[in-house]
Amino acid sequence: MSSAPCEFECAQQLDGLSSFLEEGHFSDISIRLPDGSTVQAHRVLIAAVSKVLKAKFTMSEHAWSPEVGSALAWQWLIDWVYGRMDLLPCDLIVEMLVLADHFQMPLSKT
């Protein structure tokens, strides 16, 4: 058997997560971005990609404002966590590496 059905099934599940982000369903944290905009998110998903954020989100805060990174970088990162596969813009590569290091996010080796 091929793994194609599994890949399709996983892609469908990520689409479902993305819709939760877009619609704000079941969100339990507001992330205030540096440009003043706010993104509703789910602690468990954001914490899953970062040991630092996992520790931060164990507190009962309902809002959080990152002290490092631009709004554009955080928006891309949050979209990525929810399975959106947009390519990382070239002008964000260095900033994303800094965020990954700062928040102890593992980098893909692919």
12 pLDDT tier (thresholds 50, 70, 90): very low
pLDDT of residue 23: 72
pLDDT of residue 74: 92
**Residue, of 12 and 89, whose pLDDT is higher:** 89
pLDDT tens string 32-46: 999 999 888 888 888
Residue 81 pLDDT > 50, yes or no? Answer: yes
Q: How far apart are CA 21 and CA 40, in angstroms?
A: 7
Looking at residues 9-34, what average pLDDT do you find? Answer: 70
For the chain, the C-alpha Rg in angstroms (whole number) is 15
| The model's pTM | 0.74
90 to 15, 37, 73, 86: CA distances (angstroms): 25, 23, 11, 12
Q: How far apart are CA 49 and CA 80, in angstroms?
A: 10
The CATH number for 24-102, chosen from 3.30.710.10, 3.50.50.60, 3.20.20.80, 3.30.160.250, is: 3.30.710.10
